[in-house]
Amino acid sequence: MSRARAVEYEPGSKVARLVHLMTRLSGTAAGLTTKDLADDFGVNQRTVQRYVQTLRESAGLDIEERDGRLKLGKGSRLPAMQLDRYQATLLLVSLRLLHRSRPDQDPALIGALAQLSRSLQVPVVTRYLERTLSHAEERPANPERQQLERTIIDAFVGSRAVEVDYVDAEGRASRRVLHPYFLEPAVEGRHVYVYSYDETAKEMRSLRLDRMQRARLLPTTFTVPSDFDIDAALGAAWGIWGGEPRDEVVLRFRPDAARLVPEARWHPSATLTELAGGGVELRLKVASETEMRPWVMRWGPLVEVIEPATLREYISRAHTEAAAQYARRSASKRG
């Protein structure tokens, strides 16, 4: 199991320790050793054992112990959540998306899965939540990454500025001070972006969480504008890059792709027009065509970029270089 950062307590805060212990024990399916908990609390293992005994005897909690690991037992289940089968299934799908985007063990996700699997009353959903929980706990621990992400969450929840070391897609490193307004997932790339006011750039930016190398919480606070709306801020984005719609994109799909085009995920501004011969033309306006490039590349020869010139040139160059690469490989095999 991963080790959480030791929690700091004021002298005499035994009640707070007991509450935190109950939370930790309810947020795991594999269980935690007394050493895991001692490291978490910053105390020795005998103190943890006394706390566990207090929860059993004074609070009447069912705490199971198996193979040296402790967890909250079935006798201490949380009250049932009043979600119907449709709500529960959509919650499962959302958590599966988050699970698929996390390569390392994530204690917060594990805790959420454990709590929900105990309290949802839709058996098939509960069964898949439990399986997801099992796989999540088997992933390798990455304490450094966990600490960085917790710092970003602390900044977001507490409206605190945070200093980060960031490496962009070109490999350029920079140090930035951010005001995190929101954490937004990108479905296509399975990444989480931190939508922030960037003091360094003096503008709103969407920065990938996994490209942050270090994070330090600062004492300064910020206030999110009362009219801030993340959906409005990203309204012109193809994925996550917000801003005014600057790039008009025109794509023409071959007839053999016409059936597939309407099935794809579309931008709100997109319009489709049937062409003579069976093809389809797609028009839309986005904040930046750069974010669309990987998506357009996946269509290969089934699509031709008409506008803008920057997107057309990029796709043309990429296909030309790819074709040359395959030709060289084929020639070397024949030789």
Q: Could you read off the pLDDT of 19-72 as tens digits, one per residue?
A: 778 777 777 777 888 888 888 778 888 888 888 888 777 767 778 888 888 887
**Which of 272, 314, 306, 322 is closest to 290 using CA atoms?**
314
Model confidence at 166: pLDDT above 90: yes
pLDDT in tens, 169-183: 889 999 999 999 998
Q: What's the pLDDT score for residue 165? A: 97
- Name the percent of the chain in helix, strand, coil, to the closest 5: 45, 25, 30
Q: In terms of DSSP H, where are the helices of the chain?
A: 14-26, 34-41, 45-57, 85-100, 107-119, 123-138, 143-158, 230-233, 293-297, 309-334
93-133: per-residue pLDDT in tens?
888 878 887 788 888 888 888 878 878 878 898 888 888 88
Token digits for 174? Answer: 């920079």
195 has pLDDT over 70: yes
pLDDT at 236: 66
Q: Categorize the per-residue pLDDT at 6 as very low, low, confident or very high, splitting at 50, 70 and 90.
A: very low
Q: Which domains are assigned to the chain?
A: 14-76 (1.10.10.10), 85-138 (no CATH), 144-228 (2.30.30), 247-329 (3.30.70)
CA atoms within 13 A on the CB side of 295: 16
Q: Which amino acid is at 286?
A: V
The pTM of the full predicted model, rounded to 2 decimals, is 0.64
Which one has a higher pLDDT value, 298 or 57?
298
Give me the pLDDT at residue 77, please: 58
Bridge-partner residues for 272, per DSSP? 282
Q: How confident is the model at residue 75 (pLDDT cuts 50, 70, 90)?
A: low
pLDDT value of position 239: 63
Q: What are phi and psi of 242, to 5 degrees?
A: -80, 180
Mean pLDDT of the chain: 83
Flag whether pLDDT at 1 surpasses 60: no
pLDDT at 9: 38
Tokens of 77: 């289940």
Comparing C-alpha atoms, which of 121, 161, 165 is closest to residue 144? 165
Whole-number Å distance between alpha carbons of 26 and 5: 18
